Structure 1
Amino acid sequence: MKKPAVSSKTGTESKLIAYASNVVKKTKENADLFTDAAEKVALLESVLADYTASRTEASFRDMRQVVIKNQQAVLVRQALYDLSLHIESVAKGDPSILLAAGFIPSKNKTSSVEQAPKANDLRVMVVHPGTNTVQLRVNRWRPARFYQFEYRKVGSLNEWIKVLSSKSKTSISNLEYAQEYEFRVTYLGTDPAPNYSDTVRCLVS
Structure 2
Amino acid sequence: MAKPVLSSKTETAAKLLQYAENILAKVTENASLFPDPVPTLAEIESALQAYRSGLTEASFRDMRQVELKNQQAAQLKALLYDFSLYVETVAQGNPATIMAAGFAPSKKKVASGESSPKPTDFRVEITQAGLQQVGVRVKAWKPARFYQFEYRKVGSENEWTRVLTSKSKTIIGNLEHLQQYEFRVTYLGTNPTPNYSDIVRCYVV
Global fold match (TM > 0.5): yes
- Cα RMSD after superposing both structures: 2.7
Q: Does residue 173 in structure 1 map to residue 170 in structure 2?
A: no
Name the residue aligned to 1:144: 144
Q: Is the 8 A contact 2:124 2:137 kept in 1?
A: yes
Give the 3 Å change call, closer, same or farther, for CA 133–50 of structure 1 in structure 2: closer
Name the residue aligned to 1:31: 31
Name the residue aligned to 2:112: 112
Once the two structures are superposed, the pairs formed by residues 60-71 of structure 1 within 5 Å of their partners are 60-71=60-71
AA aligned to 1:63 is M
Name the residue aligned to 1:54: 54
Name the residue aligned to 1:89: 89
Q: Is the 8 A contact 2:116 2:189 kept in 1?
A: yes
Instruction: After TM superposition, give the deviation of residue 72 of structure 1 in Å.
Output: 1.6
**Percent of aligned pairs with the same amino acid:** 56
Cα distance in 2, alignment partners of residues 194 and 144 from structure 1: 12
Q: Is the 8 A contact 1:149 1:163 kept in 2?
A: yes
Instruction: After TM superposition, give the deviation of residue 64 of structure 1 in Å.
Output: 3.0
Instruction: After TM superposition, give the deviation of residue 17 of structure 1 in Å.
Output: 1.2
Structure 1 residues 78-87 or 170-179, which shifts more?
A: 170-179
Q: Does residue 45 in structure 1 map to residue 45 in structure 2?
A: yes
Cα distance in 2, alignment partners of residues 133 and 16 from structure 1: 24
Cα distance in 1, alignment partners of residues 53 and 87 from structure 2: 27
Cα distance in 2, alignment partners of residues 35 and 152 from structure 1: 32
Once the two structures are superposed, the pairs formed by residues 1-40 of structure 1 within 5 Å of their partners are 1-37=1-37, 40=40
Instruction: After TM superposition, give the deviation of residue 127 of structure 1 in Å.
Output: 5.3
Gaps in structure 1 of 5+ consecutive residues: none
Structure 1 residues 13-22 or 60-69, which shifts more?
A: 60-69
**What is the TM-score normalised by the length of structure 1?**
0.82
Instruction: After TM superposition, give the deviation of residue 176 of structure 1 in Å.
Output: 5.8
